[in-house]
Amino acid sequence: MLIFHQAGHNSVWNEKSLAKNIGDGLIISPVHWDFDKVSGLDNAIKKVSLFDPQFYVPDSQKTRLNSYKFFPENFMNGFSTDDYVAVAYDAAALCVDFQIDNNFRALLIPARYYNDMFTDFIEKQKVFSVDPFLNYIEKKTVKKDIFLTLPLTAAMIADKKYRVQLLNWVTSYPQINGVYILVTFDETLKQICSHQKLLDYIDFIKELSIADLKVICGYCNTEAILWAILSPYAVTIGAYENTRRFSIDKFLDDESEVRGPAPRIYFPKLLNWVRYDTAMEIKEDFPSLWKKIYTPTKDLQSLLKAGTRPHFTKPELYSHHFELIHEQIREVASLSKVTDRIRLVKEWIDAANVLYNEIQSNGILFYDSNCKGEHLPAWNRVIRKITQ
C-alpha cells in the first residue's frame, strides 16, 4: 500500500519529508502550484508522484489553475458548459500530454464536482472528461496506470444503488485501472464522527477492490488508519486541513480574509490533534501524563525547546505529523491479515480512550471539541462492523 502526500500550500514540507522516505510520492495540486513550478519539479519526485488536474470547478478563476493551457476556464477564455463539449477533446489531449511529458507515475482523468445527486451524473462526467481523455490516451503508446477521479458527496456513497451505478460505469472501461476517490463528508468537526459515513466509505472501498480496481483514498485525515485496514492501493497524508478534508472552497475566487487556525500537535497515542496550549498545560502541570501521551520527534523536540507558542505555519508541527502518522499507517498495512490489522487498531483506540479519561480526570478541559477524541466511538463501531 502506498502513502501519498496530498500537496498544498508550503508543500516544500512534504518534499522534505518524502526525501526522508516518509511517504511514497506526492499528489500535486495545480491550484497551489503553477505550471512552471510543476514543470521544474525534480524528475525523481515526478516519476513517483501523481498530477491531479483539478477540474472540479471548471470555471474557477484561481490564477495558478489558469497557468495551465488545458484548464477549462483558461482553455476557452471563459468556461461555458455547453460550449466546452466542442473543445473537450483538445483540452484532454493537452492535459494527457502534460502528464506524459512530465513522466508522472500514472495518468489521472479529472472530473467535475457536483454537490447534488444528479440522475445523469455519469453522463455528465462522460461528456465532460472521461470519454475525451480515454479517447486520446488510447492513441498514445505510453504504458501507465489510468485512474479516474471520483469527486463525490457523503450522500452519494450512502446510497447503495448510486454506488452500484458508479461501479458499473467505471468497470465498463477496461482501460481504467483504478479510481481516485474524494468525498465531501460535511462534518462540523475536523474528524469524521459519523460511524455510518465511515462505513459507507469502507463499503465503497471494498466494492471497488473486489472489482479489481486500485483505490486511492484522497484527502485523508487520521481515518487513513482505518482505510489502511482494507489495504487499498494508496492513502494520503496532508499538512493543512484543506489537504486532509476535501472541499471545493479553495477553488472558488474568494479573496476574503480567513482567520488562521490555532496551532495543533498530532498525538498518535490519542489518534488526534490537540491544541498547542492544551498540550503545554498537560506538559507543564502533569509531566507524568505528558510522558504517556507524547511521542517525540526531532522536529517537535526542536520546536518545544524554543519555549514560545508557535504560529500554525511552523513546519515542525507538520513534519512531526507526517513522520508519526506515516509510521502508524505503515504498521497497520504491514500486517498480512485483516483480523490482525483490526486487532491493532482496536488496541490503539482502547489505549487512546484510557488516556483521554486520565486527561479529563486531572481537570484538563478541552475548550475545543476537535481535541476531545469524539471520533473514537465512531471508530469503535466501525471496527466492530468492518468485516461484516
For helices 298-306 and 315-334, the axis angle rounded to 10 degrees is 150
Both 23 and 113 in one domain: the answer is yes
Determine, yes or no, domain membership for 127: yes
Picking from 251, 272, 289, the residue at the C-terminal end of a domain is 251
How far apart are the C-alpha atoms of 191 and 184, rounded to whole Å?
Answer: 12
Alpha-carbon span 138 to 25, nearest angstrom:
26
Beta bridge pairs of residue 267: 272
Say if residues 194 and 157 touch (Cβ distance below 8 Å). Answer: no
pLDDT in tens, 240-290: 999 999 999 999 866 455 567 899 999 999 999 999 999 999 999 999 999
In the predicted structure, residue 88 carries a pLDDT above the cut 70: yes
Question: In this structure, are 233 and 317 located in the same domain?
Answer: no
Do 18 and 150 fall into the same domain? Answer: yes
Within 10 angstroms of residue 311's Cβ, the number of other Cβ atoms is 9
Q: What is residue 254's predicted lDDT score, i.e. its pLDDT?
A: 63
> For the chain, where are the E strands, in sequence order?
2-6, 25-28, 50-51, 107-109, 146-153, 178-184, 214-217, 234-237, 264-267, 272-275
292 within a domain of the structure (yes/no):
yes
Place 341 in a pLDDT band, splitting at 50, 70 and 90. very high
Q: Is 37 buried (19+), middle (13-18) or exposed (0-12) by CB count in 10 A? A: middle
The alpha carbon dihedral of 313, 316, 319, 323 has a sign of negative
Q: At what angle do helices 195-210 and 376-385 cross, to 10 degrees?
A: 40
> Residue 295 is part of which domain span?
264-385
Length of the chain as a residue count: 388
Domain end point (choices 227, 251, 275): 251
Residue 71 confidence (pLDDT) above 70? yes
Sign of CA dihedral 187, 259, 30, 55: positive
Same domain, 101 and 156: yes
Supply the pLDDT for residue 368. Answer: 87
Please tell me whether residues 247 and 270 are part of one structural domain.
no
Q: Are residues 30 and 76 in the same domain?
A: yes
Question: Do 163 and 269 share a structural domain?
Answer: no
- Cα end-to-end distance, the chain, whole Å: 22
Task: Give a yes or no: residue 187 inside a domain.
Answer: yes
- Are 57 and 37 in contact by the 8 Å Cβ rule? The answer is no
Question: Which of 228, 251, 274 corresponds to the end of one domain?
Answer: 251
Tens of pLDDT along 194-240?
A: 999 999 999 999 999 999 999 999 999 999 999 999 999 999 999 99
Q: Residue 60: what residue type?
A: S
In angstroms, what CA-CA distances link 235 with 22, 187, 275? 13, 20, 25
- The pLDDT value recorded for residue 237 is 98
Any bridge partners for residue 28, and if so which? 51
Residues 81 and 209 in one domain: yes
Q: What is the pLDDT of residues 139-148, one digit of tens each?
A: 998 899 999 9
| pLDDT, tens digit, 9 for 90 and up, residues 8-29 | 999 999 999 999 999 999 999 9
Does residue 257 fall inside a structural domain? Answer: no
On average, the pLDDT of the chain sits at: 95
The label of the residue with cell 491544541 reads: 275
Residue 256 lies in a domain: no
CATH code assigned at 131: 3.20.20
Domain count, the chain: 2
Residues 235 and 281 in one domain: no
User: Coil, strand, or helix at residue 124?
Assistant: helix
Phi, psi of 276 (to 5 degrees): -55, -45
Residues 15 and 44 in one domain: yes
Same domain, residue pair 327 and 353: yes
53 lies in some domain: yes
**How far apart are alpha carbons 61 and 48 in whole angstroms?**
29
Q: Which residue type, as a one-letter code, is found at position 17?
A: S
Q: Are residues 277 and 236 in the same domain?
A: no
Kindly report, residue by residue over 369-381, the tens digit of the pLDDT.
Answer: 899 999 999 999 9
Q: What is the pTM of this model?
A: 0.96
Residue 165: CB atoms within 10 A of its CB come to 15
